[in-house]
Amino acid sequence: MASLLDGATYTGIGPQMIPGNNQHQPDNSDFLGFDYGFQRGSTSLRMLWRVNGSVTIYYPVQTSQVDLIDRDGGVTRLNASNGSVEITIGPRPIYLRRVACDARFSDVCPDH
């Protein structure tokens, strides 16, 4: 995590920031899901996790490919379909890193 976020700027929360609805906590202090955004140069990064359990969702992305990085540094390249990627969010944080493409067409990376 330290190497991914070193020098990055916090950019805000995302759609998986899910309030926990605990009647004894303020709305902004109790969450079931977390979704934080960061930017370092031209690289954008999302950090996601759930407090308990796991859920598979379609997460919105802005590029045709993203790298899913697990907590231990393993990287899996995901291809977007209809502007989203299928991911599973659980108690172990995952990171989504936008893959920049210098391509002639905006929806196709140069290596395709």
Domain 2-98: state its class: mainly beta
- Please say if the pLDDT value at position 90 is more than 60: yes
The fraction of the chain above a pLDDT of 70, given in percent, is: 82
- If one counts every other C-beta atom within 10 angstroms of the C-beta of residue 48, the result is 23
- Please say if the pLDDT value at position 110 is more than 60: no
pLDDT in tens, 4-53: 889 999 999 999 998 877 666 666 667 889 999 999 988 899 999 998 89
**Residue-by-residue DSSP string for 58-82:** EEE-SSSEEEEEETTS-EEEEE-BT
- Please say if the pLDDT value at position 101 is more than 80: no
In this predicted model, which residue has the larger pLDDT, 26 or 74? Answer: 74
Query: For residue 90, what are its two tokens?
Result: 């659980």
